[in-house]
Amino acid sequence: MIRRDHRLADGRTLSWLEKGDGPPLVLLHGWSLSAAAFTELARLLAGWRLLLPDLPGHGQSTPPVDVSLPSLADDIAAWLAAVAPEPVLLGGWSLGGMVAMELAAKAETPVNRLLLMATTPRFTSDSTWPHGLPAIQVRALRRNLDRRFEATLGEFFALTFADGEVDAERLRTIRAFAVRPGGLPDRQASAAFLQLLAEQDQRPLVAKIGCPTLVVHGTLDRITPVAAGRALAAALPRGRFYELTGAGHAPFWTRPPDVAQAIREFCTWDR
């Protein structure tokens, strides 16, 4: 893969990994990680020009000025306008999926198809949305991040997997390619992103997403419950749900061939 950098209008840097040729496929990673999260999956996706950005405040990208989903989407849109102005297949995992939804709802963003992995329109639960984490749990995570930054990141990473989903050797492999190359995220931005997750509610946005959308979700996801993925797919005007039995929050780590095949099949759906 080739590492490239783009200078945003305000002077900040957005860094990305690029590989291959063909129609552009953009994948946005989740909270506290980086584009490196997708390096193994990328090897299974021949035939695309893969564009894997580090979200602001993650990997080698400069922290954001404003931590909000619209602001993050604006940064990605500005980068895409410079490096891939044609229609793209846009994918996002978890937080990256939330940013992807924001982008896909913009009429001026050329998103041809949308792929959402372990994504939810509302991260926390309330009386109108039972499919999230309790707000008190997210607040506790925020407090722990201040007190024990690296340990809390490690605990959140462990939640990515369902009980017994991976053995120790596979876990070491995932850490080696997906976690260590990206390094630690910016401390201040990480805390601000957690606050964003605590407040996020994109349910009013979903009806504005008109492109074909595939929602991929593991049945044993401990961070975004599978019921959130089902509800999201049902609410999307052109949504389809793909469920991975026994998978946790990152099925592209534990079931990469299945996810790659789902992406390939999705690109022939509804044509």
As annotated, the active-site residues are: 94, 221, 249
Question: Containing H/E element for 42?
Answer: helix 39-42
Tell me how far apart the alpha carbons of residues 197 and 13 are, in angstroms, rounded to a whole number: 24
Q: How many CA atoms lie within 13 A of 28 on its CB side?
A: 33
Q: Which residue has the tokens 């002077």?
A: 11
Tell me how far apart the alpha carbons of residues 17 and 110 are, in angstroms, rounded to a whole number: 20
Q: Are 87 and 111 in contact (CB under 8 A)?
A: yes
Q: Decide the pairing of beta strands 239-244 and 213-218.
A: parallel
